[in-house]
Amino acid sequence: MAKRVVGVDSSTQSCKVLVVDAENGTIIRSANATHPKGTEVDPAEWLKALEKSLEAVGGIDDCHALAIGGQQHGMVCLDYSGQVIRPALLWNDTRSAQAANDLVNELGAGDDQAGADAFVQATGSIPVPSFTITKLRWLADNEPENAKKIAAICLPHDWLTWQLQGAKSLADLVTDRSDASGTGYFDSATNEYRYDLLALALRISEDEAKKIQLPKVLGPNDEAGKVCDKYTRAEIVLGPGCGDNAAAALGLGLEPLQASISLGTSGVICAVFEEPLNRHEGLMAGFADATGNWLALTCTLNCAQILDYTRELLQVDYQEFDRLVSQAELGANGLGLTPFYAGERTPNLPSATASWWGLNTENRKPENYARAALESLGYLLRYSLEVMAKTGNQISSALLIGGSAKSKALQEIFPNLLNCHLDLPTPGEYVALGAAKQAAWVLTSELPTWKLEVASLNAPANDDIYQESYGHWVKQAIG
């Protein structure tokens, strides 16, 4: 019988488990269980969901390796007995917004720009409220007694891997470069923790910070121990696991200078680079990936809702929206949309609002509204690609994923709007699949080359008219 591996996606909403053929990546069976809602969760609930999923999938006694891809940034603090001190603060908990600002300002000795530059050079990213380091500052300021109890700090996937090991010693905690790089106190260029930044967050000395147990950072296919006999009678090796974005990139098989563009509530672009990402303007996050390279990430707060709100305005369904787009010309006869309904992160315009512009008696037609909305989404994502290009790394191609990627009109015009070669992979659970691929890599010592089914979209025209249209949109929407 072919060897089988287990890939786990422990996300904000749920736990998904795939049992996969290690040789060809075929999914043999799957299961999932939900996580509690909210931005503050007892990690024990993640373990319950994982245990339910492992049971629902039929057990794992016939498997040989397992790895976990998990939601990034969540703060899990443990005391000296290994007990969770307080519910974990997740990436989407924004109570640490002021803490993020304070940390940047303090690192820059009162100069915000200097602090931002210093964080990018040290860790690849400017901390935002989602990052672990900001949550630790919030803890130090608002729950000092809990902060004093900290003996170890880890992330959601680290804690789950530790539980599967048997959770015997804090010294057994492990992580990987990708998840560590989202903490705000890890340098992925040197693969070292920045205890000075951890100390800054907790308002303690660097010597005190070094006494805190942080997970050992393993290589991409290093073994992280074995699954304990509570969960299996078989000998199953554990992979180091990884952050969810890195797991998805691994599952999609992204090559250097290739990106994934996820079109959901937010628009997330991840791209693999072969050089450290500690020299950029701060509009992107510079993480590590799950293979030994680096993972650039940009996020727009506005994405699918740009199209949804326009459909609601026009009172049309998805199919009719696509038909309307096809009836309009490039530029929507002068009608344009600034699509910042929720402010915006890329570009950094948190207080911005949405607005239509260029309206006149000739262009106020449904097809122009539809076309302008889709163009605004395309150009907003193109702006993110150009942010990445400023590092000297030009994206060669990208994979379109997420719910909005199903739009036929989007598939037709996005290659030109983004000026990028685009492919459409078969929808799948790519975080769990990436974790399974890592497990197979640990098991066999060879990175699998599982085939990904993709449909290629039209090549971009590279026509000056699209560059002019994009430039006009940037001038009107961003300034």
Helix axes 97-107, 132-142, angle to 10 degrees: 100
Name 4's bridge partners: 21
Q: Which of 244, 317, 322, 464 is catalytic?
A: 244
The Cα 239–Cα 387 span in angstroms is 33
Catalytic residue list contains 93: no
The amino acid present at 192, given as its one-letter code, is E
Give the catalytic positions in this structure: 244
